[in-house]
Amino acid sequence: MIFETLPTTPRAEELLDKAFSRAARSGRSKSGLEAQESMLVTASNIVSDNLENVVTSWPDFGTVDPFYRELADAVLRQSGVSRETPDGETAGVDALRGSLSEVTWASRQIREIRSEYQTKLRNADLDTGRKHRKQAFARIADILDEIEDDLLLVGTARDALRELPDIRPDEPAIVVAGYPNVGKSSFVNRVTRASNEIASYPFTTKGVQIGHFEWDRIRYQIIDTPGLLDRPEDERNDIERQAVSALEHLADAVLFLVDPSGDCGYPLDSQLELRDAVRDRFATRGVPVLTVCNKADRSRDVEADAYMSVTADEGVDDLLELAIEAVDYGPDIPPSRLDG
């Protein structure tokens, strides 16, 4: 996952303490102007290199997969990541990119300070050299003070994003939708042999289920997102709507489960209204939405693309085959039975 390996972001005070203490040690091993220059180079390199590493550890949001771009933006907005700009306030990924830009600026400024004061030290006596080195340290400290809030923002963003579930946009994905209690979790557990992970988004109240199964040597992701596609659009907040938008980039097919028996606690008409809304939403990207009648051993009183009963273990593999045909991913290989 692209955010999982992000390193801890140093705080401005911690970075400054580290740089100046290392500089002091390097200065003690030399004498005269050589000691002053060694301290300058050591401190400036530590700060500029650490700041550069902060920036380069992040992916380029201009080229990252749209799924992760939109999902990251939703997570960061939910986490309150924002910054003031001359034009007002920005939030989410735009705020993060702005702070990363400021950190890049700071790294370059500190390199320029190093070059400027190295030149001054070459033409100075020892007392003047000490003054130049102290001036350089003061300017480095001022720059770090100027980007202190940016480093804090980057650290907050890193903490919010690195725990996201490992969903891979380059693998075919089947998203499971439908009202609560229609059997989505049971279905995901069944087709993945319970080899799935439960992870969470900050904006969901239940864990997102992510499972995998193989069919004809191709690995498929199957994802249940409680709190997102289990209720009408007008009941979702802005962050949840944006997360659904991210899923539009990810999904290759959607399985919308309905329970015509009514055991789920939601009228069939309401379930079909939500199905229609989900179908319209994903149709803008050409993502097929299949209607699946679950608990078909109790009732088949609905027009559906597939009928199954997870509890009775009926029709599950047939549904998977239908879903894989809808995904239409990879080479045209004759279908085989689900690996068991």
Specify whether the CB–CB gap between 76 and 93 falls below 8 A. Answer: yes
- pLDDT score of 320: 94
Residue 333 lies in a domain: no
157/177 same-domain check:
no
Q: How far apart are the first and last CA of the chain?
A: 27
Find the angle CA(154)-CA(93)-CA(50) to the nearest 5 degrees.
Answer: 30
Residue 242 lies in a domain: yes
Residue 7 lies in a domain: no
Cα 162 from chain centre? 7
220/149 same-domain check:
no
Instruction: Give CA–CA dist 133/31, Å, rounded.
Output: 14
Instruction: Give CA–CA dist 259/165, Å, rounded.
Output: 28
Instruction: Give CA–CA dist 168/64, Å, rounded.
Output: 12
Residues 6+ apart with CB under 8 A from 20: 43, 137
249: left (phi over 0), alpha (psi -120 to 50) or beta: alpha
Residue 143 lies in a domain: yes
- Helix runs in the chain, H state only: 12-28, 32-56, 66-78, 93-122, 126-146, 148-161, 184-191, 238-250, 268-283, 316-327
226/298 same-domain check:
yes
Residue 73: give the domain boundaries. 12-161
Residue 107 lies in a domain: yes
- pLDDT score of 210: 85
Instruction: Give CA–CA dist 45/108, Å, rounded.
Output: 11
177: left (phi over 0), alpha (psi -120 to 50) or beta: beta
Q: What is the CATH number of the domain that holds 272?
A: 3.40.50.300
Tell me the two tokens of residue 114.
């190093």
Instruction: Give CA–CA dist 78/71, Å, rounded.
Output: 11
CA distances from 318 to 111, 174, 191, 312 (A): 63, 15, 11, 14
Residue 233 lies in a domain: yes
139/178 same-domain check:
no
Q: What is the CATH number of the domain that holds 58?
A: 1.20.120.1190
Per the structure, the count of domains in the chain is 2
Residue 167 lies in a domain: no
pLDDT along the chain (340 residues), means of 10: 89 97 93 94 97 96 91 92 90 96 98 97 93 97 98 96 83 94 91 70 71 89 87 87 89 96 93 96 94 95 96 93 91 48
